[in-house]
Structure formats: C-alpha cells, structure tokens
Amino acid sequence: MVRITEQEFRQFADYIKSNYGIYFKDEKKTLIEGRLGNLMSSLNFKSLTEYMHYVKSDKTGQAASVMLNKITTNHTFFMREPAHFQYFKDMVLPYLSKTVRDKDLRIWSAACSSGEEPYTLAMIIDEFFGPAKIGWDTKILATDISQAVLSVAKAGIYSSERIKDLPESWIRRYFKNHDSENYIISEKIRNEVIFSSINLMDHTFPFRRKMHVIFCRNVMIYFDNETKERLAERLYDITEPGGFLFIGHSESLNRDRTRYKYVMPAVYRKE
C-alpha cells in the first residue's frame, strides 16, 4: 500500500478543503492512507503527489469522482431522521400547498447520496397531494458531488433489507420486485426526481428561481465553522421567503450569525 508523507497529506487536505469544503484534521492522515492506498497501488502510483496530479489532469472528472467516493462516507437510508419527514408532511407541505401560487414546488435534496432522501420526499408528496397533484410541478432536484452514488440513485434499486422500515403501503404502491433480493422504485416516483452533480462549494448555484425547501443534511459535519457559515449564507440567499432548510441532527447553525430562524432541532426557516 502506498504511504503518504505529512507534507503530502497537508497539501491534499488543503486541496480538498478549497475545492470541496471537506476539512480533514491532521489525525485523519491514517484514514486517508487506508482509503486511498490500495487505489493508488492498483493504478501503479508511487505517491499521493503522483496520484493527485492524475486526478487534477483528468478533464472528465471521473478520477475526482472516484477519489471523493473513497474519502467520504455515503451512509444513508430510507426515513433517516424521521422527525424531519414528519414535519415536512405535517407542517411544510400544508403551508406550501396554500401559499405557492403558481403550483411550482421547488425542493432541493443536496448531498442526496444514493437517493433514499429524495425518493422518500417524492413518496410523501405523492401521498399528500393524491389526485390533487395534477397541475402541480412537484419534481425534486437531487444533487451530489459523487457520480458513483448518483448512478446508484438513478437506478433506484434497493435491497429488501434497505426498504424494510418503510410503510407496507408504500412498498406495495411505490416499489416493484427487481429480482429475488432487490426492489426497484416505481417509474412514477423515479420520474419525480431529477438527479444532477453539484459541488456545494461552487460560487454560484445554477438555479433560475429560489427554493421552497432545501434538505442539506449530514454534509456540514465535514466542514469547518467558516465553510459551514458561508454555505448557510448562500443557501439562505436561494431560499424563498417562508422557505425551510433541513440539516442533520448532528449539525447546527450558529443562531447569532445565521439569518435563518430556528424552528426545531435541525430545521430552520427564512422569514
């Protein structure tokens, strides 16, 4: 396995933070060595410096995608942090259904990983509106920096183990048997989610209109305070007045510094 020098690790950590916002402390050197070491060996690179030159010179972005997939934890599951989904169903959707005049519901699942979050939102929306959904644009934008997890998300195939905590009625209505061990999300729900690659560190987001709801959960844990506050400010700017931001339960915004108003744990609102 390729070993990483202290200097290489610091250069690597600085590059990752400036380009992707992810902050690695010095003690994470062993973790990065473990996650990238075998990959670098398999590609016949003798050092992290060589490997990073390869990543930076790959104009397709595929090498960077593989690297990011190795160094981040794309851990998610259906109904993760269920209080958020309950609040979205009981409070957010009733409010938006009455106040969004043009019936264009704009919801962004940022850092969507393998797709469980946006598909859950799509199922909640479908159940909430029922037949009244006709005439509404309820498509959800789901983005991630990793092409690898986006490919999994787009396929919409999940093992029976991964969907076991969903309501039985949802499994019957929104899933089909794919093979003996896996289910596939129904085309109706898959068509409600638009997947795209977005780096949350980009200076501008490619949206023509502001969002009513942003789910940006369990990604700020990778950022230092300065990066987190800067991202929260940019998210605020693209949130509609009255709109909501959901972050992870292990995350919080500094209430003295953010323009968002605190609603409940890990839920904020633009007034």
User: 249 with 264: CB under 8 angstroms?
Assistant: no
Reported pTM: 0.82
pLDDT in the model for residue 148: 82
State the first-to-last Cα distance of the chain, in angstroms, to the nearest integer. 53
User: Measured between alpha carbons, how far is 155 from 170 in angstroms, rounded to an integer?
Assistant: 18
- Return d(Cα 11, Cα 17) in angstroms, integer: 10
Percent of the chain at pLDDT > 90 equals 68
**Number of alpha helices (DSSP H) and beta strands (DSSP E) in the chain:** 11, 10
Q: Over the chain, what is the mean pLDDT?
A: 92
Place of tokens 């990483």: 4
Where helices occur in the chain by DSSP H, the ranges are 6-20, 29-42, 48-57, 62-71, 82-87, 93-99, 116-129, 147-155, 168-174, 187-190, 225-237
pLDDT tens-digit series, residues 217-237: 988 988 989 999 999 999 999
What is the per-residue pLDDT across 89-123, written as a single tens digit (0 to 9) for each? Answer: 999 999 999 999 999 999 999 999 899 999 999 99
